[in-house]
């Protein structure tokens, strides 16, 4: 060992065959090395490329979701206080690609295990079809989705879809309307604002207050049942802004089940239905006469004899058979007196006045379901006479409420709306009567509730004033005696009206408590009273404690023909 270390290594020289063998080995090694380094170079370049320049090639999730981004596709609808009325929820829908289904029969049977209520034969037929896409079931619950996933059938897939939900159920169904399975608006607000609801992000605020809406629907449905009516309609409108706070049409429907809604249920009685309103129209006739100056609170007309025109006879329902002052004509709802009042104004003036109140055109509101009023083609004296007490001109309840709002709010007509106005927003309108006429009309309407046909509508503390209306329904060419439209339109509080309330019952029948009467004063007035008592606190109106002073201020002096006055409606 030591020997070897001491000696320097000897140079070995290899020659001959061995030398050539080593040379070839070396060359091969060189080639292999070059190949490897070339490969590594390529890999290195690719690594640099992938890690530094690859941002175009491969999408990265470096984007965060924006604040307002929503995937539901349709904006929510809320009431005036922000209560959710309609929303879209994401659900999973099951679809299949039949070309990828291996065994349709087996798959269908398996599916029926996960979704017990499906039709196996129909599903099998769908799976056998030669298409690339079939819906099997829309809007599964999370539990059903899980069950289907567990089956592990490869051709089935889920599609995230938004489904329209109405958490309040049938409440305000005629206002909201509904959508079909593809979220297309088919009725109500959903239809009118279909495009806008699809494109906007923020909620749509309605003028409706769900609490008021509930009270209205509840009280109307009670009355409907009690008097076996076939339908009912109700409205609450803000007289200052024209906002509709409550709009009820009964019977209603559940918008969550669009399949079960037939055409009759969809009919909106408040806007689509046009009715001859009866005596409530005397509000307009009297206001017109006051404004034209042909009648005053002290003047009067002889209502002793019925009026005969052509083949008609106009009688009084509560006939007094004597001279009546204007307040008495209004209070006792005298047809004869009202006709004479209208004739004094004249046909032209009558027509112009009703046009100003929007009675001859479809009412402008954010619903596509609006009915056109039925008015006479040629306005003759007889038309003017019957229209003065609400026959021969059919309008929707919304027409009536909008008109009465204008009469009581100081004389300014504002078109009704279902969309919430900003607080403090002044709404422009057009003047139809003077403020003095408006005040006198309010006193007369108060008189009806104090002493007249509308006593059932009183609500202590809230000073309700209104007018009853009862009309026979038109059938064919005549009138049906037993089929009545009974209504009551009111405003409150009468010294400074804030809201107009209407209740209308379709074909109400009298009961024992109403002594068989089904007139507006017996069936609709109590509804208005109950509604006012319940909604006034909700709407932030305080009851008037010292009611008598205000009542005194609103009282009406009823003059007798002899000229002596007697003051009524003080207490």
Partner 1 sequence: MRRSTLLWSVLCIAVVIGLFVVKHRVQDLEDRLHALNAEILSDRDATQVLEAEWSYLNQPARLEALSRKLLGMEPPTAEQTLTLDEFRLQTAPAEQEGTAIADILPMKKPVAKAAPITSQKIPEGKPDTDDWLKPILAKMKKEQ
Which residues of this protein are in contact with partner 1, per CB under 8 A?
Answer: 51, 60-62, 64-65, 70-72, 82-85, 87-90, 165, 167-169, 171, 210-211, 213-215, 218, 459-462, 533-534, 537, 542-545
Give the nearest distance from C-beta 176 to partner 1 in angstroms: 13
Q: Is the CA virtual torsion 167, 532, 427, 467 positive or negative? A: positive
Please state, in angstroms and rounded to a whole number, the distance separating the CA atoms of residues 545 and 558: 27
- Beta carbon nearer to partner 1, 15 or 69: 69
Q: Which of 549, 331, 546 is nearest to 450 (CA)?
A: 331
Q: Which of 88, 93, 279, 405 is catalytic?
A: 279
CB 399 within 8 A of CB 373: yes
279 in active site: yes
- Beta carbon nearer to partner 1, 38 or 89: 89
Provide the residue count of the chain: 571
Identify the DSSP state of 311. T
- Beta carbon nearer to partner 1, 547 or 557: 547
Give the nearest distance from C-beta 461 to partner 1 in angstroms: 3
Please state, in angstroms and rounded to a whole number, the distance separating the CA atoms of residues 458 and 452: 11
CB 413 within 8 A of CB 242: no
Give the nearest distance from C-beta 462 to partner 1 in angstroms: 7
Please state, in angstroms and rounded to a whole number, the distance separating the CA atoms of residues 62 and 55: 11
- Beta carbon nearer to partner 1, 167 or 293: 167
- Beta carbon nearer to partner 1, 413 or 462: 462
Instruction: Kindly state the tokens that stand for 95.
Output: 């679809």
- Beta carbon nearer to partner 1, 459 or 485: 459
Give the nearest distance from C-beta 566 to partner 1 in angstroms: 29
Give the nearest distance from C-beta 541 to partner 1 in angstroms: 10
> What is the β-pairing status of strands 430-431 and 412-413?
antiparallel
Give the nearest distance from C-beta 81 to partner 1 in angstroms: 11
Give the nearest distance from C-beta 503 to partner 1 in angstroms: 17
SS3 79: coil
Instruction: Kindly state the tokens that stand for 563.
Output: 């000229």
Q: Taking the C-alpha atoms of 270, 274, 277 and 281 in order, what is their torsion angle to the nearest 10 degrees?
A: 90
- Beta carbon nearer to partner 1, 183 or 453: 183
Q: Which of 173, 167, 202, 204 is nearest to 186 (CA)?
A: 173
Helices (H) and strands (E) in the chain, counts: 20, 20
Identify the DSSP state of 420. P
CB 489 within 8 A of CB 521: no
Which residues are known catalytic residues? 279
């Amino acid at each position: 060992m030591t020997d070897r270390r001491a000696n320097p290594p000897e140079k070995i020289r290899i020659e001959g065959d061995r030398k050539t063998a080593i040379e070839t080995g070396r060359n091969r090694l060189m080639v292999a090395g070059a190949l490897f380094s070339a490969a590594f170079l390529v890999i290195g370049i690719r690594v640099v490329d992938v890690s530094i320049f690859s941002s175009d090639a491969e999408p990265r999730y470096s984007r965060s979701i924006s604040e307002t981004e929503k995937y539901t596709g349709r904006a929510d609808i809320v009431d005036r206080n922000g209560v959710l009325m309609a929303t879209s929820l994401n659900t999973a829908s099951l679809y299949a690609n039949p070309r990828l289904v291996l065994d349709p029969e087996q798959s269908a049977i398996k599916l029926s295990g996960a979704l017990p209520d499906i039709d196996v034969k129909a599903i099998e037929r769908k799976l056998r079809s030669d298409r690339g896409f079939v819906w099997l079931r829309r809007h599964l619950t999370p539990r059903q989705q899980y069950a289907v996933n567990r089956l592990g059938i490869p051709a089935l897939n889920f599609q995230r879809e938004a489904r329209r939900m109405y958490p309040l159920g049938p409440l305000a169904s005629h206002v909201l309307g509904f959508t079909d399975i593809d979220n297309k608006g088919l009725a109500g607000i959903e239809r009118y604002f279909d495009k806008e609801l699809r494109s906007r992000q923020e909620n749509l605020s309605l003028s409706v207050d769900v609490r008021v809406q509930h009270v209205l629907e509840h009280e109307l449905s009670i009355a409907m049942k009690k008097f076996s009516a076939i339908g009912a309609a109700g409205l609450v409108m803000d007289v200052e802004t024209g906002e509709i706070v409550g709009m009820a049409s009964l019977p209603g429907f559940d918008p969550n089940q669009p399949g079960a809604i037939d055409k009759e249920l969809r009919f909106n009685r408040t806007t689509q239905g046009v009715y001859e309103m009866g005596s409530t129209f005397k509000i307009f006739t009297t206001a017109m006469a006051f404004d034209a100056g042909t009648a005053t609170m002290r003047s009067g007309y002889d209502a002793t004899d019925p009026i005969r025109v052509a083949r008609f006879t106009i009688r009084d329902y509560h006939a007094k058979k004597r001279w009546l002052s204007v307040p008495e004509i209004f209070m006792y709802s005298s047809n004869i007196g009202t006709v004479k009042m209208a004739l004094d104004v004249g046909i032209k003036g009558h027509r112009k006045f009703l046009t100003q109140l929007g009675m001859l055109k479809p009412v402008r509101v954010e619903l596509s379901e609006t009915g056109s009023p039925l008015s006479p083609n040629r306005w003759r004296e007889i038309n003017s006479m019957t229209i003065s007490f609400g026959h021969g001109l059919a309008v929707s309840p919304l027409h009536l409420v909008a008109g009465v709002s204008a009469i009581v709010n100081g004389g300014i007509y504002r078109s009704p709306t279902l969309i919430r106005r900003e607080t403090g927003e002044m709404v422009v309108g057009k003047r139809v009567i003077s403020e003095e006429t408006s005040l006198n009309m309010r006193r007369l309407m108060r008189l009806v509730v104090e002493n007249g046909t509308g006593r059932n509508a009183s609500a202590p503390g809230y000073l309700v004033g209104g007018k009853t209306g009862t009309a026979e329904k038109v059938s064919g060419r005549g009138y049906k005696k037993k089929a009545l439209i009974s209504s009551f339109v009111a405003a409150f509080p009468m010294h400074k009206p804030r809201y107009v309330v209407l209740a209308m019952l379709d074909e109400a029948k009298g009961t024992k408590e109403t002594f068989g009467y089904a007139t507006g004063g017996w069936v609709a007035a109590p509804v208005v009273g109950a509604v006012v008592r319940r909604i006034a606190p909700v709407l932030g109106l305080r009851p008037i404690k010292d009611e008598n002073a205000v009542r005194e201020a609103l009282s009406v002096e009823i003059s007798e023909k002899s000229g002596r006055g007697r003051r009524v409606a003080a207490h």
